[in-house]
Structures are given as C-alpha cells and as structure tokens.
Amino acid sequence: MELRCGGVGSQAVGRRMDGDSRDGGGGGCKDAGSEDYENLPTSASLSTHMTAGAMAGILEHSVMYPVDSVKTRMQSLNPDPKAQYTSVYGALKKIIRTEGFWRPLRGLNVMMLGAGPAHALYFACYENMKRTLNAVFHHQGNSHLANGIAGSMATLLHDAVMNPAEVVKQRLQMYNSPHRSALRCIWTVWRTEGLGAFYRSYTTQLTMNIPFQSIHFITYEFLQEQVNPHRGYNPQSHIISGGLAGALAAAATTPLDVCKTLLNTQENMALNLANISGRLSGMANAFRMVYQLNGLPGYFKGMQARIIYQMPSTAISWSVYEFFKYFLTKHKLDSRTPY
C-alpha cells in the first residue's frame, strides 16, 4: 500500500503529526519512502484511533490465540502428566490429537470481547498522551521518554478492561478445565470467589505491563531509527521493529507473567503442594510460591511460548492499527474533498 499525492485529502494524510517536515519541503509531492508512517496525520480523530485500535486488538489476539493457550499451559507450576509439553508445536499437536481440533480456541470469544474495547482505549489514550507529552517536552518528532510514559499510562485503561477477560480466558485454557463455556466460567467465579477474583491479578498485570510497554516502545523507536531513519511509509520496518521489540519485552517480563497466570488460574494442584488452603492473592505471595515449587527456573516457564506469541502479536497489532488509521483517515478526508 502506498501513499500517493493526489487530491487535498491525500496530501493531508501525508502530513506529520508533529508538524516537522524532515525533508525541508514545503508541500511538494512525496512518495511512499518519505512519509512518516509512525506519525500519521493530526486529523486522525478519536473515533479513528479507537476503531483502528479495536481492529488491531481483535485480529492480534484471534490469530495468535492457539499459541496463547499453549503458553498458559506451559506456565503451569504443577501440570498434569498428560499436559506436559516440551515445545509449542508439540503442545498444539498433542492438544488437538487428545482433546479435539477446537480445544486450543476455547475462550477465544471472551478474549475478542475484551480485546476490542481494551485496545480501543489503549491506542486512543496512547496517541493523545504521546502528542501531549511531546509538546510538554518540546520535542520535535518522537521522544523515547514520551512514548514510554504514554504507553504506560495507556496500560492502566487497557488492563482495567482486559483483566476480567484474561481471568476467564486462562481458566478455560487450562488442561482439564471444569468450565465448558465463558458464561458458565464467569458465573462460577462470581458465585464462588466474588467480583474481586476478576481483578486478583490486576496489580501484577500492571506491574508486568507497565515495564513491558516501556521496553516495547523505547526499543521500537530505537529500532526504527536504525532501520527506517527517515520514518518513511514502510510497513516492513514496523513489522520487524515491532516483532523484535515485543520479543525483548516479553522475555524481560516473563517472571511477572508466570505469577499473573498463577493468580488468574488458582492452579489447584500447585496450591495443594504448597499447603495453601483457600485462594492465593497478592504478587508477593505468588512470587514466593513460584520459587517454593520450582525455584528460579519456575519464573521462566513458558518463556519460549511467550516470545513466539508476542513477536507476531506485536507485529500484527502495529501493522493492522496503522493500516486502519491511515485508511479511515484518508477515507474521511477524501469524502470532504470537492471534485
């Protein structure tokens, strides 16, 4: 897909968000290589950011959901002997062979319902915070600090919506789960554990996602400076940068993800081994239990699956988001252009 110079609408889509024209031109025709892909136009509305974000979130989680199911199981502290896996591919084959073709997709519906609004809020907040903070820092173009802070702030909104969906989704993904549907899982958790169960891992998730997003955005911007210094309209560079940034952030925050999974699933066999009656709560308690049962290696269970999941997820999310943001903005501008 290329940005082409044509009518007023196409030219408006090519303007930089921060108003900094790096080529020094004053309105000449730009080709695809000179467009700033990351900083699409100021005219992108809040509804455009939210729609593009929702589409990115739904597609990202839908495409990668089977790998996410494997990751959840591989992070189990005391897995059933029938649910012990050595690789992502081997796990998928075994799950499909022993539990049915659709088993890796159980919980996908609740994840899509959560991902849409969560990513809509996330990207809308991120775009507005990034623009505001860049202005505060008087930074022409992109400030790594502004991007990191904006991503961290957006995470607060994202996780507030996503955390209940994560709880239900992970309980459905576990081996031999007693829940056969999302609605039944929601009702059972609400009745037996109360509303707080849906946010038991919220602080852990924030503790994980705030550094994750900071690492992600700072690494992403750094890689963009290396592989796409002119910030041209170059989807390939954003896929590569996003994938590598997501992989690094995923690896660095795996210990927190293991603890989050434990708090979400309340894995019965692991709780019994640790002589814990009732429910496990609190990040500190989760950290202690992981170490008690599996030592230091326990904090990195499922890291391979997490990286394999996160690399394409981040690439899909950014490429889909930027495509829909460009497409929707250009459509709105073109519809206002007189012929």
- Residue 90, pLDDT score: 94
pLDDT band at 97, cuts 50/70/90? very high
The pLDDT of residue 96 is above 70: yes
Q: Mean pLDDT throughout 239-251?
A: 92
Residue 177 burial by Cβ neighbours in a 10 Å radius (0-12, 13-18, 19+): middle
- Residue 232, pLDDT score: 64
* Amino acid at site 30: K
- The whole-angstrom distance between residue 187's C-alpha and the CA centroid of its chain comes to 27
- Residue 282, pLDDT score: 81
- Residue 299, pLDDT score: 93
Residue 19 DSSP label: -
Residue 175 DSSP label: T
Separation of alpha carbons 66 and 339, rounded Å: 48
Rounded to 10 deg, the angle between the 144-173 and 108-136 helix axes is 170
User: 227: alpha, beta or left, given left = phi > 0 and alpha = psi -120 to 50?
Assistant: alpha
Output the six-digit token pair for 73: 């199981």
- Residue 311, pLDDT score: 94
The pLDDT of residue 27 is above 50: no
The pLDDT of residue 17 is above 60: no
This prediction has a pTM of 0.77
- Establish how many alpha carbons lie within 13 A of residue 241's alpha carbon, considering only the half-sphere containing its beta carbon: 24
pLDDT band at 277, cuts 50/70/90? low
Classify 242 as helix, strand or coil.
helix
Is residue 221 within 8 Å of residue 150, measured between CB atoms?
no
Q: What is the pLDDT of residues 37-77, one digit of tens each?
A: 444 444 578 899 999 999 999 999 999 999 999 999 998 87
Separation of alpha carbons 241 and 264, rounded Å: 31
The pLDDT of residue 189 is above 80: yes
- Residue 52, pLDDT score: 92
Separation of alpha carbons 339 and 48, rounded Å: 24
Rounded to 10 deg, the angle between the 235-252 and 303-336 helix axes is 140
